[in-house]
Amino acid sequence: MTLQVELVSPEEVLYSGEADMVIARTTDGEIAFMTGHAPFIGSLGVGAVTIRTSEGDDVRAAVHEGFVEVTDNRVTILSDIAELVGDIDATRARRALEELDRERDVDDAEAETALRRARLRVELADE
């Protein structure tokens, strides 16, 4: 038995299919979901999501906050902003990170979140 997984952003469904495991970063830390997982609802932080498909491939995405719900072997990830690794423009991500580092204001929560997002994009694009 496998999990039915959906990764959704406001613009599109990034992934819909079966998987053996889903790994996500909640605001409380990283968590993995497999078949038979107890019902769960959590808030997502800025982090990578890994969907291990039934074929053994990994689908990776940068997820920039949102929610994850697990019920009856179904994992639904609703993200404010999400990008599959293959869709990340590495050059643009590096430029954005450099710019944010230069203009960094450590007392600005929005700027700090933007910096975390940029770092995640660069990290995943470089994999």
How confident is the prediction for the chain on average, in pLDDT? Answer: 91
* Beta strand ranges found along the chain (DSSP E): 3-8, 13-26, 29-34, 40-53, 58-71, 74-79, 82-84
Enter the pTM of the model.
0.86
More confident residue, 107 or 7: 7
Give the residue among 84, 49, 85 at the shortest CA–CA distance from 66: 49
Give the residue among 3, 8, 97, 114 at the shortest CA–CA distance from 61: 8
Q: pLDDT at position 50, please?
A: 97
What CA–CA distance (Å, rounded) separates 1 from 4?
10
pLDDT tens digit string along 40-89?
Answer: 999 999 999 999 998 889 999 999 999 999 999 999 999 989 999 999 98
pLDDT tens digit string along 32-41?
Answer: 999 999 999 9
Using pLDDT thresholds of 50, 70 and 90, give the confidence band for residue 105: low
Q: Which residues are within 8 A (CB) of 86 and not within 5 positions of it... i.e. 6 or more apart?
A: none
